[in-house]
Amino acid sequence: MWSLFGQTWPMSKILARVMLGESLQGKRILEIGCGLGLPSIVVKQLGGNITASDYHPLAKSFLLENTLLNALAPICFETGDWNTANLNLGQFDLIIGSDLLYEHQHIALLSAFIDHHSSDQVDVVIVDPGRGSHRAFAREMEHLGYAHSWTDLKDYPDRGIQLKGFILRFSRCSFDYFVDSPIGNFC
């Protein structure tokens, strides 16, 4: 079943590295499509409040085994079916994922899922290998009210290998979080 499951993908490694530089304190964090859970494990090791999610039926057991191998307490896991609302998930301040845009028809599902589980003030980090859906995904997220930026992975080598893809960042904040400044409003 799903022969591509059970591997640590290059984009997952990049996302794990990105998490090393993120501010995690006081945030509820969700990893979407966690697979084996490498980024979730890194966040947990850094003391972050992480919930992992995936649709694959073996993801939870793989994640549990990987947390035990890393001498960590179990990571909270919830099924992450983008087609249905999971009321147990709630809302998050930081949502992360890697290699999620492999099917163009998933763009609307994924963006709606992220929006549904986003706090009023949220940051989203998606590491994408550049299969061509990232621009349409960014437009959909903008339509939902998220600002975005990106970093090209050409400047982000993994063991000396130049990777193709992008680190996509999205953010949204409610008007309650705006701070007036002489040069504009900021979250």
Q: Digits of tens for pLDDT over the chain (187 positions)?
A: 445 556 667 889 999 999 999 999 999 999 999 988 999 999 999 999 999 999 888 889 989 999 999 999 999 999 888 887 777 889 999 999 999 998 888 899 999 999 999 999 999 999 999 888 999 999 999 999 999 999 988 877 665 556 789 999 999 986 555 455 444 444 5
183 part of a folded domain? no
pLDDT at 21: 92
Which domain, by its residues, includes 103? 10-20+27-174
Bridge partners of 161, per DSSP, are 158
pLDDT at 91: 95
How many Cβ atoms sit within 10 Å of the Cβ of residue 158?
Answer: 13
- As to burial, measured by CB atoms within 10 angstroms (0-12 exposed, 13-18 middle, 19+ buried), residue 56 is middle
Contact 126, 168 (CB under 8 A): yes
180 part of a folded domain? no
33 part of a folded domain? yes
Amino acid, res. 145? G
The CATH number of whichever domain residue 111 belongs to comes to 3.40.50.150
pLDDT digits (tens, 9 = 90+) for 51-79: 999 988 888 998 999 999 999 999 999 98
Nearest to 178 by CA among 147, 133, 149, 154: 147
pLDDT at 95: 98
How far from the centroid of its chain's Cα atoms is residue 85's Cα?
17
186 part of a folded domain? no
Contact 99, 74 (CB under 8 A): no
Domain count, the chain: 1
185 part of a folded domain? no
Strands 179-181 and 184-186: antiparallel
Cα–Cα distance for residue pair 97/90, rounded to 1 Å = 17
179 part of a folded domain? no
187 part of a folded domain? no
127 part of a folded domain? yes
